[in-house]
Each structure stands twice: as C-alpha cells, then as structure tokens.
Homo-oligomer: A and B are copies of this chain.
Amino acid sequence: MMFPLKRLLIGRPLKSTELGEQKLNKTKALAILSSDALSSVAYGPEQILIVLITISAAAFWYSIPIAIGVLILLTALILSYRQIIFAYPHGGGAYVVSKNNLGVNSGLIAGGSLLVDYILTVAVSVSAGTDAITSAFPALHSHNVMIAIIFVIFLTILNLRGVTESASILAYPVYLFVLALFILIGVGLWNIATGTVPPELHTPIGTPVAGISLFLLLKAFASGSSALTGVEAISNAIPNFKDPAPKNAAKTLTFMGGLLAILLSGIVFLSYYYGVVPSVEVTVVSQIAEETFGRNFMYFFIQGTTALILILAANTGYTAFPLLAVNLAKDKFIPRMFTIRGDRLGYSNGIIFLAISSIFLIIIFKGQTEHLIPLYAVGVFIPFTLSQTGMVVKWVREKPKGWVGKLIINALGAIICLVVTLMFFITKFTQVWSVLIFVPVIMFVFQRIKNHYEAVGDQLRITEDNHAVPIEGNVIIVPVAGITRVVENSLNYAKSLNANQIIAVYISFERDEEKKFEEKWNKWQPDIRLVTLHSQYRSIIQPLTKFVDIVQHKASEANYGVTVVIPQFLPKKGWQNILHNQSSLLIRAFLLYRRDVMITTVPFHLKK
C-alpha cells in the first residue's frame, strides 16, 4: 500500500546515470536559489523604517543612505561570493571556505550555524507566507499551524521529486513576483517623474533630526541587511548547475545581485518618496502598491505574488541544506546517511530531516516564528564573516595574480559582515543569545560523531599485524522447543555444516517434563546430544546465555567458533505474528548484542 502511494507522490525511481538530466539551467537555478534573497525585499526596507520611526518620521530620509550602505554590502557579498564560486567550484560555501582557510573549528561554526539557519529559513518563511494568506482570509487564521505544515509537506514532496521538477514549478511564482515589483517600481517612478505624487510627503535628504545617533543608524543598517540573507545559497549549490557549473553559477549570482539591488533601491526610494509609515496591520510594500494603483487588480497581484514568494523562500533551504549536509557528512561530522541519494537522485535524507525539523519548530512556536528572524539573520552573518575572512587568508597565503584587489573586496566584505553581526548581538541580544549556546553544542556533537567514525575506521582497517584469527572449527547450538518439523529443519541444516559438535538445548519450566522429553529425543535424534536446562524463573534467555557462555569459553580455547542456530517459523500473514511468542527474535537480539557468537536463523515458512 505504501509503495504505490510513494510512486504517485515522488515519481518513478531514476537511474544514477540520469543525474545529468537533473541539472539546472540558469533560468531555473535563479528561480529556486534566489527566492529567499528576493523575498527579503518584502520585509527588508520595512525593517529599516521600523528602527527609524523610534526617533520620528523626519528621520526617514536616513533610509536612503542606509540603503546605499546595504547596497555596498550587497555588492561586496556578490563580488566576494563570485570569487568563492571560482575558488571552490564543488560548492560548500561558507563551510568549505572557512574550514580550508581558517581551520576545522571555524568551518564547523559556519557549517553548524548554516544548518540550523536553513531549518529556520523554512520555518520562518512558510510561517510568514501563511500569515500573509490568513490575513487575506481571516477565517483560516485559527488553522495557521496546519496550513504551514501542509506547505512544508508540499515543498518536501516537490523536492523529493527532484531538483528540476521543483524548479519548473517554482519558476513561475518567482518571476511573477519580480515582474509585479518591476511594474510597481516603474509605475511609481513614472508617477513621480510626471509629478502625480506631491513632493511634500517626505522630508528632504539632509534635514537635521534631533536624537539621531550612530548606534541607532547602525541598528537600522543591521536590520536592513537582514534583506541579504539567502545570498550565499548559490555558492552552496554549484553541483546542481549544468556544466560549466562555476561559470553558470557566477552569472546567476551576479544576475540575482542585480535584481535584488534594483528591487531593494526601488522599494526604499518609493517608500521614502511616498512618506510611508510602517504599521503593524499593513506592510510597506502593500502601502506603496495601494498608493500607486489603488485597490485594483494590480494591488492584489502584488500581494498574492508576495505571499507566494515568502512561502517559496523556504525552497532555498531545501536546495542548500542537503548539499551542505553532504559536505559535512563526507567529512564525517554528521551521519553518513546524508550522503545517500534517494529514488529521484535528491539527497532525500537531508530533505526529510529538514522537513521534520522545521515542522517541529512551527509546532513549538505555534506558527509565530517572527521572533526567530534576528536569530536567523545572525545565523547567516556569522558564516558570511567567516567565509570572507577565510578568503582574505587564502589570498594572503596563495598570492595569485591580482590578489590585492581580491583581498580588498573580501576584506571589506568581512569587516561589514562582522559589524552587522556585532550590531545584532549588541542591539538584539535578548533574541539572539541562544546562538552562543547551540553553536557550541552542535560543534560538540559534530566532534563526537567524527571521533566515532574515526575510531570505527581504525578498527575496521586491515593492517599487516592485525589479522583476524582464523576459525579452526565450529560448535553449533540449537535451542529446541519441542519435536517439530521446524526443529527437524534446523537440525538438518546444522548437520549439513560439518560442525565439530552439535548440541541441542531444551529449556524446561517444570521438572517432570524434562525426563519425558529426553526419552522422546533419544528415540528421535539419538546422534545429537541434548542438554536440558531447567529455568526456575521461566526465562529462556537467562539459562541459554549462561550455557552459551560456558560453551564459548571452551570453544575459544581451541579457536572454535560458536554458532547458535535459531529455528524461526514465519506465519503467512503479518497479524499472525502476535499469536506466537517471538522468542527467536528475543534470543537473537540478546545474544548478538552481548556475546561474540554467530547467529543463524533457519526460516520455516508456513504455507497456510
């Protein structure tokens, strides 16, 4: 039953050789990798104004220089990540760059905070998109959590189906959103140019404002730069691109940077010119749209595509998380299962893990994930800072042609990112302190896992002086519960193995049955030695384990192996299993995990 359902949802399995067909061209890559970055246009400018309004509406003109600062940061990031793409064409982004240049611990800080961050991305963006929808349809409001979870499941299925398929479906809403904002900005600027909008709505740039401080401006800048989260996604996902992957990735990154810059400056400028005041009920974009078009079709088109892209921003997490997990798993910091490709060639374990974790967050926070946003921004800027610093170290160390220019770009980026990170810690400590706990915890776990894998590797490696002792003979123990065909079957098998000794073990609960059984046995199998063990406490495991210990002790002296042959009969239908004592499973589990004996299960399939 599960199987056809899986086929229906996920599609037929793909051969490993079909991997190439799953690669992305630039148009699709832009759609699925930039939804996170582009969607931040919907809330980034608003974040700046929310900080400035704490002084007065007169301070709004500062949003222009702050936006210019954000654009400079964006430019530095884009240039810097272009350099990273070419330097590390196999992807991995901040984790790989930090690890290779700054050492393992820096890499783990970057990798750990990004892993958590992608989970936050999914939870936060899906919740935000759901809020946008339920604001339009208030009747749905009480089902917020359920709707968010359904979206997560939808995205999960889409991503399990494979990268290209999700790209084809997701491309439309992303480009529609870009189109909608372009129209909005275009018409808005036209209105300004033609003088339809009165210029009195805003204070001129340069107006002195009482109470403004550098601290406040930096806080507004940090808030605004939360619009840059998601910029690193492309550098993590290079392996998903069509060849030549690095070149295509770099072009896509530049194009995305351009789009982001246009949309960001357009929205900031319009909101400044229109004198938009941020409010709890209506978003800044919504106010601009209403100012420009009134409440007509275009207004709802903009609102609709915005809600959609907020949800789809989660998809960036789905693309980047599994690839980062693969890099961490290859380095043995997280379980190896994250490196396995599923039926549709996606890294399904990573996708499923991401889905479960983000659903978990949505449920815990009851869909109110807004207060996770600063946490999420910090989780992005820590790895930003580390990877830029890593690049600086790389240039200094390698000194390739033109390294000074590259160094300046990355150094500038590193400094700005560091400042933004610090601003988050200083101005929003109550919301981001938990990073200081969970990053060390994650690093500790990573290290424990790595240690385990290395210890295992050492023990499994075959070296010259480290050979297994050959087994020179075998003792076979067959626990028997009666004289039945199942037992006969197992004995026949044991006999066929040319073992040095076969011992049948019967465990009795009552003294009087013992003799009877021994007599019957001697008639039935006179050539196989029967040992009868009495179990005072009606347990099978205890006396059997003791007996196995004794046999093993003797056998090991002669380098003999001990095999316990367990007869197991398998009913035809699953429900029938509860009608039988599952002693054979119990014996097997107990002996295998605690003793060094071979366990052979001889099946006896029931036919009716």
Residues in chain A within 8 A of chain B (CB atoms): 13-17, 335-337, 340-341, 343, 449, 452-453, 455-456, 459-462, 466-474, 483-486, 488-489, 492-493, 495-499, 509-510, 524, 536-538, 561, 563, 568-571, 576, 578-581, 588, 592-593, 596-603, 605-608
Q: Which of B498, B524, B563, B606 sits near A600, CB closer than 8 Å?
A: B563
User: Which residues on the B side are within 8 Å of A568 (C-beta)?
Assistant: 592
If A473-B496, A497-B498, A601-B599 touch, whether A466 touches B485 (CB-CB below 8 Å) is yes
Give the distance in Å from the alpha carbon of A333 to the alpha carbon of B599 in the complex. 33
If A597-B603, A598-B602 touch, whether A17 touches B536 (CB-CB below 8 Å) is yes
CB distance from A35 to the nearest CB of B (A): 29
Give the distance in Å from the alpha carbon of A498 to the alpha carbon of B472 in the complex. 11
Give the distance in Å from the alpha carbon of A509 to the alpha carbon of B469 in the complex. 32
Docked-complex contact A569 and B456, CB < 8 angstroms? yes
Docked-complex contact A485 and B459, CB < 8 angstroms? yes
User: Which residues on the B side are within 8 Å of A471 (C-beta)?
Assistant: 492-493, 495-496
User: Which residues on the B side are within 8 Å of A343 (C-beta)?
Assistant: 537
CB distance from A334 to the nearest CB of B (A): 9
Docked-complex contact B16 and A510, CB < 8 angstroms? yes
If A472-B496, A484-B460, A496-B474 touch, whether A452 touches B576 (CB-CB below 8 Å) is yes
User: Which residues on the B side are within 8 Å of A474 (C-beta)?
Assistant: 496-497
Q: Chain B residue with minimal CB distance to A13?
A: B537
Docked-complex contact B484 and A468, CB < 8 angstroms? no
CB distance from A559 to the nearest CB of B (A): 9
CB distance from A413 to the nearest CB of B (A): 36
CB distance from A493 to the nearest CB of B (A): 6
8 cross-chain pairs, A with B, having the tightest CB-CB distances, nearest first: A471-B496, A460-B484, A600-B600, A15-B536, A498-B498, A13-B537, A455-B608, A335-B579
Q: Chain B residue with minimal CB distance to A471?
A: B496
User: Which residues on the B side are within 8 Å of A470 (C-beta)?
Assistant: 492, 495-496
User: Which residues on the B side are within 8 Å of A578 (C-beta)?
Assistant: 335
Give the distance in Å from the alpha carbon of A483 to the alpha carbon of B463 in the complex. 11
If A15-B537, A493-B561 touch, whether A603 touches B608 (CB-CB below 8 Å) is no
Docked-complex contact B462 and A488, CB < 8 angstroms? yes
User: Which residues on the B side are within 8 Å of A486 (C-beta)?
Assistant: 460
If A537-B13, A603-B598 touch, whether A579 touches B453 (CB-CB below 8 Å) is yes
Give the distance in Å from the alpha carbon of A600 to the alpha carbon of B499 in the complex. 15
Give the distance in Å from the alpha carbon of A341 to the alpha carbon of B593 in the complex. 26
CB distance from A20 to the nearest CB of B (A): 14
Residue contacts A-B, CB under 8 angstroms, 17 given: A15-B536, A336-B579, A340-B538, A452-B579, A455-B606, A460-B484, A460-B485, A468-B485, A468-B489, A470-B496, A474-B496, A474-B497, A497-B497, A570-B592, A588-B601, A597-B603, A598-B600
Docked-complex contact B600 and A16, CB < 8 angstroms? no
If A497-B498, A561-B496 touch, whether A608 touches B484 (CB-CB below 8 Å) is no
CB distance from A563 to the nearest CB of B (A): 7
Docked-complex contact B483 and A468, CB < 8 angstroms? no
Q: Chain B residue with minimal CB distance to A605?
A: B596
CB distance from A533 to the nearest CB of B (A): 14
Docked-complex contact B596 and A452, CB < 8 angstroms? no
Q: Chain B residue with minimal CB distance to A597?
A: B603
CB distance from A200 to the nearest CB of B (A): 62
CB distance from A235 to the nearest CB of B (A): 26
Docked-complex contact B468 and A492, CB < 8 angstroms? yes
CB distance from A450 to the nearest CB of B (A): 10
User: Which residues on the B side are within 8 Å of A455 (C-beta)?
Assistant: 606, 608
Docked-complex contact A484 and B461, CB < 8 angstroms? yes
CB distance from A510 to the nearest CB of B (A): 7
Give the distance in Å from the alpha carbon of A484 to the alpha carbon of B456 in the complex. 11
Docked-complex contact A336 and B462, CB < 8 angstroms? no
Give the distance in Å from the alpha carbon of A228 to the alpha carbon of B607 in the complex. 48
Give the distance in Å from the alpha carbon of A470 to the alpha carbon of B341 in the complex. 44
Docked-complex contact A607 and B459, CB < 8 angstroms? yes
User: Which residues on the B side are within 8 Å of A571 (C-beta)?
Assistant: 452, 456
CB distance from A483 to the nearest CB of B (A): 6
Known: A498-B498, A596-B605. 5 other contacts (CB 8 A): A336-B580, A462-B488, A473-B496, A570-B593, A597-B603
Docked-complex contact B536 and A16, CB < 8 angstroms? yes
User: Which residues on the B side are within 8 Å of A496 (C-beta)?
Assistant: 470-474, 561
User: Which residues on the B side are within 8 Å of A599 (C-beta)?
Assistant: 600-601, 603
User: Which residues on the B side are within 8 Å of A460 (C-beta)?
Assistant: 484-486, 569
